[in-house]
Structure 1
Amino acid sequence: MTRQLRGGSSRNGLILANGGVLSYQHSICLSSLPQRNESPYPNGNGLEQAEPDSIAPVNFEVKGPATIETYTVEFNRDGTPFQAYIVGRLTDSNHRFLANEGDQSTLLCLSSSNEEPIGKLGTVIADPLGKMGERRNLFSSHSTARL
């Protein structure tokens, strides 16, 4: 791809790569064109230029009402859901958190193809027992009663 861009036969390129047992996805967009606003590309980490207040703080041990911002579900080889990883936002403080699913119904909700869980309300708590001596957060979605 870089040879084609440098040779002038292409102006833009997208490279995708899988890793692990198709469990990691990496991508990079490349271009031979300068930025549109003609500013130079940064040297080093672009996060150094980010405004610190623009990034919501992350709490590692949390408790309270929360909303799912994004998530992913890890599946067993037989296709059943194994574990969920949730990035959410606390309703009270607007801080972000990382969590696993708190119960089987939340895991099934996150792996359902009938309903989109992003934006769904729930409750997050710090796991009192922890796994292998490490504490983790657990998110449980609010289920609505069906009469």
Structure 2
Amino acid sequence: MSENTPQPAAPQQPQSTQQAPAAQPASGAPAEAPKKKKWAAVTALVLGIISAITGFIILGAFTAIPTVIFAIIALVMVKRGTGKGKVMAIVSLVLVVVAMVTFVLGNNVRAQKRAEREQMAREAIQKCESKEFVGAYYTEKDGKRYCAYGGWLYPVDNDK
């Protein structure tokens, strides 16, 4: 064959300028994947923080219960695929544990302080009764009898 003879061209595919229409919902808005919600995880985290901060008082115990409820709701939503915030839910459960430990420790400290105050009151009353100590004496206030010692008044008669 000679160089001047035309060569057959490769078959070309017809090009279409039209694209297939995208599936759209009836409202005319583009189709989107459903948004995952994390309201339960955020609520659990906020309540968990409040619970951990106020754990040493009774308020921490009251906020711990809803924290656990919202954390479980968040974890169920994550498992179903309708929500997110698994880490926040787990952190809130850890904060509940911190709140409960703080609550127990706070109660132990309060009980120990109360026992110390009661012991000091018994010692002061014994000093008042023995009359050996110059700074310890009995006094009455509002119809009740007290032992005055060290700048404090200790009730003697608790039944009045």
Q: Indicate the TM-score class for this superposition, using the shorter chain for normalisation.
A: under 0.3
Q: Which of 1 and 2 has greater Rg?
A: 2
- Structure holding more strand per residue: 1
TM-score (norm 2): 0.20
